[in-house]
């Protein structure tokens, strides 16, 4: 399976593009890096690839098809701020199992402790919350993971731990991953290939 963005152009305002004719292609089981200056549109491209932003020009295709707009999204986005991706009025066990019942294997792989499950989101650290966000995103129905600065908020040891867990799971499930980061060393360590996004308004 292949996720492709073809000739993607997008601007938040009329006559002011942020992305211009961007092409990106990610296959099952591949780990692709996306690097670029701050403001070059990396997060915007992530939202387009996952269907959260749909007023763009160009095509996003999963094999030859559009990403389904209803039901489970096989292209899952996890971003830098897990606290913004969860309902603050839900307990962690409900957040975790919102889309599907997350397997015990995945819960254990992410080191999610039993006593975290009854807590509210504001009772966990950013790194702990991110483990929940990733555990629920890596469902058996997920085909691609768009990882937008997912470990920027944690220390180097936790970063290495989280990525090692993610890479094991995506390998097992043959999921393709887009790794978005400012950190060239991290990208070099994780990715087989990298694409660079230029800030088209600052060249």
Ligand X SMILES: Nc1ncnc2c1ncn2[C@@H]1O[C@H](COP(=O)(O)OP(=O)(O)OP(=O)(O)O)[C@@H](O)[C@H]1O
Q: Footprint of ligand X on this chain (CB under 6 A)?
A: 12, 18, 36, 38-44
State which residue, 92 or 154, has the beta carbon closest to ligand X: 154
Q: CB of residue 96 vs ligand X: minimum separation in angstroms?
A: 26
Q: CB of residue 40 vs ligand X: minimum separation in angstroms?
A: 4
Assigned token pair, 112: 């999610």
Q: How far is CA 159 from the centre of its chain?
A: 15
Which DSSP letter does residue 87 get? Answer: -
Task: Report the side by side order of strands in the sheet with 2-10.
Answer: 19-27, 2-10, 57-62
* Whole-number Å distance between alpha carbons of 8 and 88: 34
State which residue, 57 or 174, has the beta carbon closest to ligand X: 57
* Whole-number Å distance between alpha carbons of 71 and 80: 24
Q: CB of residue 44 vs ligand X: minimum separation in angstroms?
A: 3
State which residue, 27 or 39, has the beta carbon closest to ligand X: 39
State which residue, 102 or 191, has the beta carbon closest to ligand X: 191
Is the distance from CB of 96 to CB of 132 less than 8 angstroms? yes
Q: CB of residue 82 vs ligand X: minimum separation in angstroms?
A: 16
């Amino acid at each position: 399976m292949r996720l492709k963005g073809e000739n993607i152009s997008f601007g938040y305002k009329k006559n002011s593009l942020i992305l211009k004719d961007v092409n990106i292609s990610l296959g099952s089981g591949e780990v692709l890096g996306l690097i670029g200056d701050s403001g070059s549109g990396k997060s915007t491209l992530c939202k387009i690839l996952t269907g959260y932003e749909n007023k763009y020009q160009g095509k996003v295709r999963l094999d030859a098809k559009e990403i389904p707009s209803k039901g489970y999204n096989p292209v899952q986005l996890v971003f830098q701020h897990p606290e913004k991706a969860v309902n603050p009025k839900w307990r962690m066990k409900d957040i975790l199992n919102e889309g599907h019942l997350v397997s015990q294997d995945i819960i254990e792989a992410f080191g999610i402790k039993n006593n975290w499950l009854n807590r509210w989101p504001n009772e966990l650290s950013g790194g702990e919350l991110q483990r929940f966000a990733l555990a629920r995103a890596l469902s058996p129905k997920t085909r691609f993971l768009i990882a937008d600065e997912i470990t920027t908020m944690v220390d180097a040891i936790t970063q290495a731990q989280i990525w090692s867990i993610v890479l094991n799971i995506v390998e097992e499930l043959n999921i393709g991953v887009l790794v978005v980061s400012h950190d060239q060393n991290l990208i070099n360590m994780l990715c087989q290939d990298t694409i660079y996004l230029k800030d088209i308004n600052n060249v």
